[in-house]
Amino acid sequence: MSENTTTVTENDTNAQVAAAGTLEHLDPHTLELETNVRDDAALDADFVASIKEHGVLNPIAAVRGHDGVVRVRAGQRRTLAAREAGLTSVPVYVRPAGATDDKAQVVERVSEQIVENDRRRELTEAQRARGIQQMLDAGASVTKVAKKLSIGRDTVKSVATAAGSQAAMEALDAGQLSLSEAAVLSEFDDDPDAIMRLLEVAGTNRFEHRVAEIRQDRAAQQAYQEAAASYTEQGYTVVEDFPAYGDTTCVELRYLRTPEGEAATDEHVTDPAHWAVCLTEVEGYVDTETGEPVDAHDIDWHARFSATVAEGKRDPSSVTEVVVWEADWLCTDYAAAGLVLCESLAKRVEALAREDSDHHADDSSDQDAEAREAAAAEAARRERRKVIALNKLGEAAQQVRRQFITDKILARKTAPKGAAMFVASCLTRDVRLIEEHHGGQISAELLGASDSTAVTKMVAELPATGDGRAQVITLALVLGALEARTGKDAWRGSGWGHYVGAAELLRFLADNSYPLADIERVILGEQTADALYDSLTEQSEPTEDD
């Protein structure tokens, strides 16, 4: 048995020696490509550019047959890319063919190709990021790194941003993010809640929408803090919500009276020690040039869709929408402020204090009226909060949507499939579509132009073969007009009597791979505004662990 074992070992050693090869530099065009288990070489421009820049760094594995022909065993893509890149010499590790008959050669070739591909382990995004950062730290410019690695400059910039964020790098290490997503995550290093919300949608088409929504929330919160600071600096207490009806420790101004029975007004808000304020975000308007406040009732909103402005009204194009923080006053010590409760509230407080059931029965009608009034007030507040919250989602979706139109639809040389039918349908159903207010300007912005005059020049400079691009510009005019009709409050369903609008815009974009935001699904009737708002309030409510 010992003799047999020795014989086998010697045979294996002889086979290994016989299989040893040599490193040669050969013209890739002289190499023959064997049938490969990787049936799609999937060459891309970046890979070919990398081969052209660096050459073939890892030798191609090949065997030299008994006929003298060198056949590629592993390195099909490198060989094809080298040919396409115009290389005249590539490193090849050449071994003599081990098998002699055709069937044995197939077994040998396929087994080696499968093992070679299966054992390959690509760099993780985190490892790639750290490597790129090392190049940047060594003094290489973004442009040079991008060229060396045959990747986009934006990718290199994303790495430079992400590398400075511990949360982003941890997420990359865990395989939760792409490099571009990690770069965005670094923006929210100081906000663990925002990071958690982003990681929930990482790798999905919801990511960009979530980023826009969080940015919108942060901007609104900053504006609120600035508005609140102006009151706290004066000594007033700022509360985040209205008190329950009947809470005498914090009474709304409308439930207070002077000792003479007159309704209390803002003029009675004097000593900050006795007053608190609840701030509510509302829509306001100012003159675009002067910044002076403008009453919304003085604006002729219909002029957005016509060439004339009603007499005595303002042109919508002359005003700018702004956020206004409306103050509702709450008295924390009405007696010290020299005020009394209104009659209905005073009766309620007195009855509760005495716990007089007969009194309750006698005043049941008054109490019912009070309950209805309080319920109506709370319903009005909820509706106002809903409008504000969903308008913010509308603004966030608008940013993502317009960027998608610019990058994915209008950057093309030719219009996407179905665009001609879409344009024809929109224009024949509503011939005034592209004449309306703001549509031309939005179209120009989507095309990256300064104004409609620049768009006209863009068309005039098209070559004789520019029909495809001309169709894209025509599509831009229609999309811009539809965007003008798709305001942040389009979810409220106001179509202004038009035949085409937000719904047509969103369906076309969705057909072209645009990921709809939740607020846009409301516009399409796929969910209700109340259901969406309820989901938002549930997410914002603290849990038991908070």
Q: What is the pLDDT of residues 288-298, one digit of tens each?
A: 889 898 998 99
Angstrom distance (rounded) from CA 376 to CA 188: 39
Q: What is the pLDDT of residues 351-370, one digit of tens each?
A: 777 655 444 444 556 666 66
Q: What is the pLDDT of residues 239-283, one digit of tens each?
A: 988 888 778 899 999 999 999 999 999 999 999 999 999 998 888
**Predicted local distance difference test score (pLDDT) of residue 37:** 52
Neighbours of 334 (CB within 10 A): 23
Q: Which two tokens stand for residue 243?
A: 């008190």
- For 258, how many CA atoms within 13 A lie in the half-sphere containing its CB? 9
Write down the H helix ranges in 57-162: 76-85, 102-118, 125-137, 142-149, 153-162
Q: What residues have CB less than 8 Å from 472, skipping those under 6 apart?
A: 409, 410, 412, 413, 414, 415, 419
Q: What single DSSP character describes residue 405?
A: I
Q: Where are the domains of the chain?
A: 2-118, 125-207, 234-362, 387-540
Is the backbone of residue 391 left (phi > 0), alpha (psi -120 to 50) or beta?
Answer: alpha
**Predicted local distance difference test score (pLDDT) of residue 542:** 52
pLDDT-derived band at 124 (thresholds 50, 70, 90) equals confident
CA 253 from centroid of its chain's CA atoms: 42
Q: Which two tokens stand for residue 139?
A: 């003094």
The answer to whether residue 103 scores a pLDDT higher than 80 is no
What is the architecture, at CATH level 2, of domain 2-118?
Alpha-Beta Complex (3.90)
**Predicted local distance difference test score (pLDDT) of residue 11:** 42
Sign of CA dihedral 25, 78, 48, 161: negative
The chain-wide mean pLDDT, for the chain, equals: 84
Say if CB 285 and CB 319 are below 8 A apart.
Answer: yes
The answer to whether residue 14 scores a pLDDT higher than 60 is no
pLDDT-derived band at 5 (thresholds 50, 70, 90) equals very low
Mean pLDDT of 316-339: 90
CA 308 from centroid of its chain's CA atoms: 37
- For 310, how many CA atoms within 13 A lie in the half-sphere containing its CB? 11
Residue 542 dihedral angles phi and psi, to the nearest 5°: -70, 145
Mean pLDDT of 137-156: 85
Q: What is the pLDDT of residues 431-467, one digit of tens each?
A: 888 887 678 889 999 999 998 899 999 999 999 999 9
Q: What single DSSP character describes residue 98?
A: -
Pairing type for strands 60-64 and 70-74 reads: antiparallel
Q: What residues have CB less than 8 Å from 125, skipping those under 6 apart?
A: 172, 175, 177, 178, 179, 182
Angstrom distance (rounded) from CA 93 to CA 415: 48
Say if CB 257 and CB 342 are below 8 A apart.
Answer: yes
User: For residue 322, what are the CA distances in angstroms to 2, 36, 228, 325?
Assistant: 93, 63, 17, 10
**Predicted local distance difference test score (pLDDT) of residue 361:** 44
Pairing type for strands 22-26 and 251-252 reads: unpaired
**Predicted local distance difference test score (pLDDT) of residue 306:** 66
**Predicted local distance difference test score (pLDDT) of residue 539:** 72
Residue with tokens 């300007």: 441
Three-state DSSP class for 143? Answer: helix
Three-state DSSP class for 203? Answer: coil
**Predicted local distance difference test score (pLDDT) of residue 147:** 83
Q: What single DSSP character describes residue 57?
A: -
Q: What is the pLDDT of residues 198-250, one digit of tens each?
A: 999 998 999 999 999 999 999 989 999 999 999 999 999 999 888 887 788 99
